[in-house]
Amino acid sequence: MNKISFKIGLLFFVAIFLLESISMFFLHNNIIHSRVHDELSALQTRGNNHREVLQVSFHEETIKHIAMMEARTDSQVILTNPNGTIYMSSNKVTDEMKKIMKSTPKNVPHAGLILEDDWKKATYISSISPVVIDNKVNGYIYMFQNTLKIKNLISELNQHFLLAGVLSLLFMMIIITFLTRVVTHPLIQISEATKRISKGELSVSLPKLGKDEIGGLGESIRVLASDLDILKNERNEFLASISHELRTPLTYIKGYADIARRQDTSDADKDTYLGIIFEESVKLSKLVKELFNLAKMDENTFSIEKEEVHLQPYFQSIVEKVSPALKEHHLELFLECSAGLYAQIDPIRFEQVILNLLDNARKYSEPFTKISLIVSEESGKTHIKVIDQGRGIPEEDLPRIFERFYRVDKSRARSLGGTGLGLAIVKQLVESHGGTVAVTSSKYAGTTFEIVL
């Protein structure tokens, strides 16, 4: 038995037990009360009946008749004269009876009185009915009945109640055990699954737990576990990539530093080596800076400060900035943007996005081709396209190019100075602007990146 089942079961049990005890207690009391009341009023009625008879004919004959009738029953009748002297009794008069008769009050109403109703303590219950003839009390009829009969009746009743109580308790326990199982089973399964997850077993499978809140909880936990799994794998891959990326420039730096410090290296060679060391250090610091930026974007500590930007002059200034570098590679950049366009962007961050895309277009295009930057508005959204006529991206690589460190051609991309972080940064920045970025490409025919804001 697990704790939660026990707790819920106990709670159910206590609640139902209390409810049942209270209702049984009241039922029991009511039954006893009405049984005793019945007995008392039956006794009183009999006494009154005898009295009626005597009022009609107060004769020796009638009195004898009444005594004889009562002698056959389990009750007893006593007739006294007005001052209390016993005139007739159907059975032997006991001391207890005399004691009860002494407690007779002065004025007994015509309907009679119950003299003793304490069936628990007294030996008899008793009633009195005055015999009134010509407005004068001629005597009293006392009725007695042994309380043993009521006591037996009640003890029988108690036994029934006990049996019913025990049976319903048993029944209740069975139902509660079953119910708590049903209620807690899915919770226990979830708790076991989470235990396994915390131990690192991320591929847990939870059975279908239904469509209610508990089922929803199970589903969320399953999703969480698989997200965690993906995240863990991503992190491992990422760390592996970082160490790999850092190792290459560091190897160069170490190797060339080692040769440069040798005595027999000529000054000219030393200069070359120092140049390489410097270049590699620049690459390293760029890499570290970009990684740091990405980490900040992940944490959301990176703030995007959007403002209304007039797009035509904004893109024009970017084009002017990059055109000289493109000219050097015999590439031409065309801007197409109508004058009336505005968008909510962070101008500095967004410039980085466009620069990264243009940088890729430059790096992966052959000389004497064309690059276009097309800005337009379609159904309230700003579309920005960067189109080149370069070598394109093979279809199988397309889904992965936004991943960190992913490059299509590792060696060539590296020789072009690529770290594979450019597009990852583009994606993060566009998404933190609330936009999307997509790529279409066909090999040798060029690549189009489209940003929708």
Ligand X SMILES: Nc1ncnc2c1ncn2[C@@H]1O[C@H](COP(=O)(O)OP(=O)(O)OP(=O)(O)O)[C@@H](O)[C@H]1O
State the residues that interact with Mg ion by CB under 5 A: 360, 422
Q: Does 249 bind ligand X (CB under 6 A)?
A: no
CA–CA–CA angle 321, 323, 326 (5° rounding)? 130
User: Within 10 Å of residue 52's Cβ, how many Cβ atoms?
Assistant: 12
In angstroms, rounded to a whole number, what is the distance separating the alpha carbons of residues 353 and 183? 54
Choose, by CB under 6 A, the member of 66, 190, 373, 393 that binds ligand X: 393
Residue nearest to Mg ion (CB): 422
- Closest by alpha carbon to 426, among 450, 396, 391, 395? 450
Q: What single string gives the DSSP state of each residue in 25-88? A: HHHHHHHHHHHHHHHHHHHHHHHHHHHHHHHH---HHHHHHHHHHHHTSSEEEEEE-TTS-EEE
Residue closest to 391 by CA, chosen among 373, 426, 367, 411 = 367
Residue 391 binds: one of ligand X, Mg ion, none (C-beta under 5 to 8 A by kind): ligand X
Q: Pick the binder of ligand X from 50, 349, 407, 433 (CB under 6 A).
A: 407
Task: Indicate which of ligand X, Mg ion, none lies near residue 249 (CB less than 5 to 8 Å, by partner kind).
Answer: none
What residues between 342 and 381 interact with ligand X by CB under 6 A?
A: 356, 360-361, 363-364
**Residue 245 binds which entry of ligand X, Mg ion, none, with Cβ cut-offs from 5 to 8 Å by kind?**
none
401 binds, among Mg ion, ligand X, none (CB under 5 to 8 A by kind): ligand X
Q: What's the CA gap between 255 and 257, in Å, rounded?
A: 5
Which residue of 419, 428, 437, 451 would you call a contact of ligand X, by CB under 6 A?
A: 419
Return d(Cα 195, Cα 201) in angstroms, integer.
9
**Total residues at the site for ligand X (CB under 6 A)?**
24
Distance CA 72, CA 337 (A): 123
Interacting stretch for ligand X, rule CB under 6 A, among 64-72, 249-257, 307-315, 386-394?
A: 386-394
Contact between 408 and ligand X per CB under 6 A: yes
Residue from 39, 70, 116, 388 that binds ligand X (CB under 6 A)? 388
437 touches ligand X by CB under 6 A: no
Minimum CB separation from ligand X for residue 195, in Å?
A: 40
Binding site for ligand X (CB under 6 A): 356, 360-361, 363-364, 388, 390-393, 401, 406-409, 413, 418-424, 447
